[in-house]
Chain A
Amino acid sequence: MKILVAVKRVIDYNVQVRVKDDGTGVVTDNVKMSTNPPDDNAIEEAVKIKESGKAKEVVAITIGDDKAQETVRKALAVGADRGIHVKVDGIVEPLAVSKILKKIVEKENPDLVFMGKQAIDDDCNQTGQMLAAILNWPQATFASKIEVKEKSLEVTREIDEGLETIEVNIPAIVTCDLRLNEPRYASLPNIMKAKKKPLEQLNASDLGVDTKARIEQIKVEEPPKRKAGIKVASVSELVQKLKNEAKVI
């Protein structure tokens, strides 16, 4: 079995994001970038399945500018076998990403495609479902547990009401929740070894995918600021304020 895992380079989850003064986006210069957190879970799960003997190869793919390669290198350092970087500059919407991934799926013929359930930059939560749609594959979104069976996966999904379990035939798309596993850290020797693993480079235009934006970003603004609050000295003061000032209890 072969597993393709899609990873995205995003602003690190610990960074306090700032909006650019001209309203065209957020500040990315000199800002720490890293792999989208649930994509780390996707890689980890694929590597674990390989370690259990149920998969032969894990291929990591990223789509983005030259620096996006860092995320593939990181995936290689934690156990992916080889990487693919599809070069494209600027914002690529999930619809275009799914079309690029479809081309790669047709080329690579993986049995499973894993990725994080949502990228923490655009917060779209679309790509996995879109890829499943255009491949006409089943989708197991928001996965917090995956059991590999002979020709299917049993996947536990996190939903608003609790948990749901579905069985999807292989080939399938899985989008991973943060609770799926605990991603490992890359050791220094493995980071060094990862530099020698193959990384194929392609251009989105060579794949024949139109990546033109369909959604025009008119402006990006700061969220409305909350007015500064106060510290209360005691629980009784807190309850009095809630009762008499805020009038919420």
Chain B
Amino acid sequence: MSVLLIAEHNNTDLRPFTFNAATAASKINEDLHILVLGNKSDSVAKAASEIPLVKKVIHVDNEIFDNFTAENYTSTILKHVDNYSHIVCSANTFGKNLMPRVAALLDTSQVSDIVNVISEDTFLRPIYAGNAFATVKSTDKKKCVTIRPTSFDPATSTGGSAEIVKSEPGDKFESSKFVKREEIKSDRPELGTARVVISGGRGMQNSDNFKLITAIADKLNAAIGASRAAVDAGYITNDHQVGQTGKVVVPDLYIAVGISGAIQHLAGMKESKVIVAINKDGEAPIFSVADYGLEADLFEALPQFLEELNKLNTIQK
């Protein structure tokens, strides 16, 4: 049996986590097919066909997919699942919204947010905000699985030439409609895939102070993250939130500034390779996961940090 990966894209390009999900999907079974549902999305199908791990692309192009709604995706996915043992996609807001709708109609108990593939039916997944890891075995005939993208390396994006097969959409869902999307555009690396992330918490005190973080992010080519407290307080928008219910990041370097380190925040960053904590409270739980802790007032430390970075001859990008 084969694996069907649902592509996440913007009708022009594949979104980055599709490549990570492809790696995980091919670990489940090498006969990996990818389903691209989009509107005027030929370039996406072509990009999918160039991933060497992908054996076949099924492309359904229709205006009902313009805004990627779970309702319209689901009816079409269900038309295409017959020959597959696994339906998979990434466990970000796209996949979290979509996959349970598919799983329920297949009468399958979904396995969410896997971080490792142990065998075709057995997976490792975090529970309790990553305070425990469960090894679980799905006994359903057709398995629906979402993949934590940051736990798998992205698949190579070029060199493949899989066959692209055109197909037809399922029924349009009439009871919901898309109104608008407010995407926050940024020249910075994406939070989920950045090599360096610098995050601010409640200790930043206001949104204006985030410019101290921005200046360092510019220097390190880092993405900017935030704790839930900082987002709730309105210092920064929700797309920056790192944590159990925000984004999970696994950068080479994570710098937590003015973040105390609630369990829910640690869930989103504690797998980072190197963690730095800057906090004036020496007892803050963030220090328990930090490789390098600096007990200092962030309003003094951040300008000094920038100054020290400016002194370096080279900085990795």
| Chain B nearest Cβ from A24, distance in angstroms | 11
| Chain A nearest Cβ from B226, distance in angstroms | 13
Contact B132 A94 (CB under 8 A): no
Query: For residue A122, which residue of chain B has the nearest CB?
Result: B127
Say yes or no for B88: interface residue by CB 8 A criterion: no
Binary per-residue interface labels of chain B (257-299) against chain A in the complex, 1 for a CB within 8 Å, 0 otherwise: 0000001100000100111100000100001011111111000
A 188-240 contacts with B by CB, 8 A: 213-223, 226, 229-232, 234-236, 238-239
CA distance A13 to B129 in the complex (A): 10
Say yes or no for A148: interface residue by CB 8 A criterion: no
Contact B138 A214 (CB under 8 A): yes
| Chain B nearest Cβ from A38, distance in angstroms | 8
Query: For residue B291, which residue of chain A has the nearest CB?
Result: A229
CA distance A199 to B149 in the complex (A): 43
Q: Which residues of A contact B287 (CB under 8 A)?
A: 229, 231
Query: For residue A144, which residue of chain B has the nearest CB?
Result: B238
Q: Which residues of A contact B96 (CB under 8 A)?
A: 125, 141-142
A 132-146 contacts with B by CB, 8 A: 132-134, 137-142, 144
Q: Which residues of A contact B228 (CB under 8 A)?
A: 178
Q: Which of A51-59, A78-86, A157-165 contacts B (4 or more CB under 8 A)?
A: A157-165
Report the tally of A-B residue pairs with Cβ distances under 8 A. 263
Say yes or no for A118: interface residue by CB 8 A criterion: yes
Pick the residue among A38, A138, A239 that contacts B309 (CB under 8 A).
A239
Say yes or no for B83: interface residue by CB 8 A criterion: no
Q: Which of A42-50, A63-71, A106-114, A241-249 contacts B (4 or more CB under 8 A)?
A: A241-249
Say yes or no for A117: interface residue by CB 8 A criterion: yes
| Chain B nearest Cβ from A130, distance in angstroms | 4
CA distance A18 to B107 in the complex (A): 32
Say yes or no for B41: interface residue by CB 8 A criterion: no
CA distance A142 to B177 in the complex (A): 16
Q: Do A232 and B292 form a contact, CB below 8 Å, given A162-B184, A218-B137?
A: yes
Q: Which residues of B contact A186 (CB under 8 A)?
A: none
CA distance A223 to B126 in the complex (A): 8
Binary per-residue interface labels of chain B (224-238) against chain A in the complex, 1 for a CB within 8 Å, 0 otherwise: 000010011000011
| Chain B nearest Cβ from A72, distance in angstroms | 23
Task: Determine the interface band of chain B, counting residues with CB < 8 A from chain A.
Answer: 35 or more
Q: Do A214 and B292 form a contact, CB below 8 Å, given A160-B192, A161-B184, A242-B274?
A: no
Q: Do A167 and B179 form a contact, CB below 8 Å, given A19-B132, A158-B238, A239-B305?
A: yes
| Chain B nearest Cβ from A174, distance in angstroms | 12
Q: Which residues of B contact A21 (CB under 8 A)?
A: none
Say yes or no for B247: interface residue by CB 8 A criterion: yes
Pick the residue among A38, A141, A238, A239 that contacts B312 (CB under 8 A).
A239
CA distance A219 to B124 in the complex (A): 10
Contact A249 B175 (CB under 8 A): no
Q: Which residues of A contact B211 (CB under 8 A)?
A: none
A 117-131 contacts with B by CB, 8 A: 117-118, 120-131
Contact A134 B179 (CB under 8 A): no
B 95-123 contacts with A by CB, 8 A: 96-105, 107-113, 122
Most buried by A among B104, B108, B135, B294: B104
Contact B292 A160 (CB under 8 A): no
Q: Which residues of B contact A161 (CB under 8 A)?
A: 181, 183-184, 239
CA distance A161 to B237 in the complex (A): 10
Contact A214 B140 (CB under 8 A): yes
Q: Which residues of A contact B130 (CB under 8 A)?
A: 223
| Chain A nearest Cβ from B105, distance in angstroms | 5
Contact B133 A239 (CB under 8 A): no
Contact A222 B110 (CB under 8 A): no
CA distance A195 to B37 in the complex (A): 51
Q: Which residues of A contact B138 (CB under 8 A)?
A: 214-216
Contact A220 B291 (CB under 8 A): no
Pick the residue among B140, B263, B275 that contacts A16 (CB under 8 A).
B263
Q: Which residues of A contact B264 (CB under 8 A)?
A: 13, 120
Contact A178 B308 (CB under 8 A): no
Contact A179 B196 (CB under 8 A): no
CA distance A48 to B70 in the complex (A): 28
Binary per-residue interface labels of chain B (31-59) against chain A in the complex, 1 for a CB within 8 Å, 0 otherwise: 00000000000000000000000000000
Q: Which residues of B contact A230 (CB under 8 A)?
A: 291-293
Say yes or no for B220: interface residue by CB 8 A criterion: yes
State the 5 A-B residue pairs at the shortest beta-carbon distance, nearest first: A129-B100, A214-B109, A138-B176, A130-B104, A126-B100
Interface residues of B (CB under 8 A from A): 69-71, 74, 92-94, 96-105, 107-113, 122, 126-140, 173, 175-184, 192, 196, 220, 228, 231-232, 237-239, 244-245, 247, 252-253, 263-264, 270, 273-276, 282, 287, 289-296, 301, 304-305, 308-309, 312, 315-316
Contacts A164-B181, A218-B135 known; 5 new A-B pairs at CB < 8 A: A38-B245, A162-B237, A164-B182, A223-B133, A248-B252
7 A–B contacts, CB within 8 A, in A order: A124-B110, A139-B101, A161-B181, A163-B182, A164-B178, A215-B109, A222-B133
